[in-house]
Structure 1
Amino acid sequence: MRTCQANLSCGRHKCGERCCPGEKKAAERQAASRRKNRQPGDSVVEAEHICIRTCGRPLKCGSHNCQQMCHRGPCASCPEAIFHEISCNCGRTVLQPPQPCGTHAPECRFNCPRRPACGHPPVEHNCHMDDISCPKCPFLVDKWCACGKEKLHSQPCHLQAGHCGRPCGKTLKCGLHKCRKLCHRPGECEDSASSSQTCGQACGKAKLFCDHACQNPCHGQTPCNESAPCAAKATIACPCGQRQQEVKCLASSSNPTPSRPELKCDDECLRLERNRRLAAALNIDPASHTNDHVPYSDITLRLFKENLAWAEAQEREFRVLAKSPEEQRLRFKPMPSHQRQFLHALAEDYGLESKSEDVEPYRYVVIWKGAKFVSAPSKTLAQCLKIREAQAAEAAAAAAAASSRAPTPPPAIAVVEPFNAFLLVSPRFGLTIEDVEAAIRPDLASQSGLSFTTSFLPSDEVLIRATAHYSSFLTPTAVEQALQNMKPRLEGTVKRQDIAGNILLCHVDANEQVSRREDISRSDAAAGWSAVAGRAATPAKKEELAAASSGGGSGKRVLLGLRKKKVETPAKSWTAQLDGDVEC
């Protein structure tokens, strides 16, 4: 007999009836829901498949289960009520019954009455239930670290144990190694979880056949297993000991003396041997003999001094390349231009070839051994820098001694630079270069051997620079004389057309920097109170000249020695005589 597997109305249970009369309708309903073309009336569940069981799911209150008929979706709130008071932990905030089932304790606005176990004053906070902990004690106290080696100061009171950060250092169970864990409680060393008399560190004992350190895991006091070839590095050298090379040791219990490649002497070894023989013939001790020769250029030493640590690292790379006969080329990573300049200068001192490739900011340097490379310099950059500093100190001391003995030289005569330009001071507002050139062009045309260029300076002054033609053969002194002859005429034009407040002679360099200008202190002094007094006396002189000219024009004889009687006029105040020119 067939069992119906249709879902009931609750969506949680299945029908499970044999020969269910609503099975066909349930299949059509489920097929329509899968096609997503259900009609509003199709959502009605047939009567045979309405679930009539009790829901039984736990409610939100956590104390009761849902007693309604089995349904879809969440259950409703618990219908039960509480008929006793619900209070906070301290009992000062109370909710009176009845209350819905599942109501939590109210929030209390009073302070928590609990006291910390450490005895310090509590941190003020609101009352809370027992499942919530109080704030940690913030007071600072002195505590011993976990390993007991150091007393720590100003540690928070709530910390169970402080840590000094030092390695433990206790001997482990193997008896060969020390605990490397940082400060910890007793019994928590590296080998605390191991039941054997070993630890997890490398053995480190010297091997029997090659004297290298054993790299196997710690095996206690038992002998090291040397059946496998030793992977440590061994150094081989040429007969004179100058050339050295690192190879694998490969020693084992089955092959105590493995064969290794033979390293022969090269040209550098022969050169050093010749130098040794020459030193012996000349009775020179190479160990104590020193010289002050510096095989590096000044720019290399200057760039080395600017960045010592980085430059020493690059020098080591150069020496490794120069010492290794197999290495022929070295490429550096991209770097700024000043660092590439140091590499090029150092390559030149070593006799290496160098070039820069790629574009900024990926430009890098490549060096390689060329035909002129022989060997690396015997002295390092640091040694040569000390030699240069010692030489500079000796030279300074010698110069100081010589200056103390030598007579005092006469003071140097200052060289006065000749004027080569005009300077318009306080130019008119809105003045342009075209206005200046149009106003003074007739005056400048009188000097055919000079050409003039007009420009504005950052100080808002106008510069008129004179340049001698190549064919005129004018010296700087002749140019100054020509400008002095032109100045009165130009000064009149400037005053008449109100171009600027004043015109001065000056000297400018190639960058249009005014290094010397005409001293107008005398003219400024004459333009002070003396000028005011002179203008006050000018009207009287003009009246005398007018009287003299009128007498000569009428044909009357002018009697010399006779003066016209002056008409007394009331004295003017001193401010009126100054015509408003009052300088303070």
Structure 2
Amino acid sequence: MALNPSIFELCHRGPCGSCREAIFDEISCNCGRTVLQPPLPCGTQPPPCRFDCERSKACGHPQVPHNCHQDTEDCPRCPFLTVKPCMCGKNLLKNQQCWLTDVRCGEICGKKLKCGAHKCRKPCHKSGECEDAGRSCQQPCGKEKSCGHPCSDPCHSPYPCKEDKPCQHKIFITCDCQHIRQEAKCNATRDNEGNSTKSLKCDDECARLERNRRLALALNIDPETHKDDHIPYSSETLNMFLQNVPWAQTQEREFRVFASSPEEKRLRSKPMPPTQRAFLHSLAEDFGFDSESMDPEPHRHVALFKSPRFVTAPMKTLAECARIRHSQRAATANSAAVSEKKVKPSNVIGEPYNGFLLTNAKFGLTIEELRSAIRPALAATPSVQFDISFQPDESVVLKATPSAAVPSERDLEATLQSLKPGVSAAVKAQALGSIQLCRLDGSLNVLRRESDSASNGGWSQVAAKAAAPRMAIRQPVVQAKNAYTVLGAGKVQLGKKKEKKKEKLREESVVDDWEAAESAEEEREKVAGSVGSGDEMGGGRAGSVGSAAASGEEKEKNNGEAPVEAEEAA
């Protein structure tokens, strides 16, 4: 057996040299179609192969064309699209590349965690990788405490909530008539009810509203239909309010809490962009506050101060004023359209009502409380059900969902009109608010309400109007004129008319042969010149004749006027 000579090399730096021995075995590629014949140096690698790889895939798809290679090198990924189940196993996803192993559907897991009270909020993942894997549940508890608010402590299931710290949820404290509101923390614990049972004291404005309510009840007047249409806000404020209603209502609520607190003299807002600061400045002007922007960007905010011109917050909210302005514009547009079409208002029929609108809702009213209140009134008509929803302006809409027994919307309107007295009586009996018919769209927006509808017109309106006063006919004043003056003026006017007619005919006449016309004009000028010279020669005689004629006219005139002067002298 021959020994490798490198074994007997002396100690040296760096790696050892290659083996100097030769091998006498064939070295081929993986497919065996490319072979290196011996003898070959020791350590020779398999040769590269120009033929295609013929390995089969586990997925069963055809192999992507590529050259033969060794096992240490992987084949290209399979590019074919297939249907694969997602990692959570809920869905099958189409058009997924075959080589993918972890396919996610994006849905929330929703499996119950180990605590038994919460569900996994992570998106699609493998089994056993929920958010409580290797640790306890970190979600807020969420259980209802004795005060009615959810517990915000980390999950402590299955143990009960401690309730040793005051509840930090915000509530509204109101007066007995619910006109005055003030925002405060709940501060309830297991042994203390906190601010949930506290109430504010009614002021003079509350007494005035209660007096008006009793007077309207005694006179059988619906206060909702007799509200004035005055808008205490500027157009800029309402326009900016409609651009972001939820955020603007939050700011308005803070303004009203600040206005109702006599101890508070200054209010600072959070840093916000210029458009939002502009809304606060405009709203502060409507409330009677002084406002000022402070600090540079991005910490610029608005500071509010109560000025001497501040009296109280506007009675109407921005949502109510936006609805009033919308109704006014709609009424103006409708009147303009009716006037253009020349259609009598008595012949115009609007869209039928399809629901009820509850206004002046009781503070803290819930949907279940309202359903239980109106259930006896709806017992006689099981064919109509109602979807109840709260509006941003604190009103409640009840949209009717009829069954097949109600064929058309007009029949539904007739059914609602028959139900209105009972529903209104049930709501007023429990002091939940006032009910009226309304028209709702698919998004539960109020398009038309019963209080906005105008009168039908007719003979009642004609009789109500006072008769228009008769206008006196002005008689033309005729001044007496002398007979000679009238005749002279008539002759002058007649002469002017003839001159105008001649000029018009002269302008309208068109000469066909202008050269002949020019020569005829020259001939007329020569004849006129000769005649003019003869007139100059006989000018004295003509002048004498003219003077005699003038003296004759003067005599006639004096003879005609002499009797008049004699009569005046007598």
User: How does the TM-score come out when normalised to structure 2?
Assistant: 0.49
Q: Could you say which structure has the greater relative contact order, defined with CA pairs below 8 angstroms and 6 or more residues apart? A: 2
The structure with the larger Rg is 1
Name the one with the larger helix percent.
2
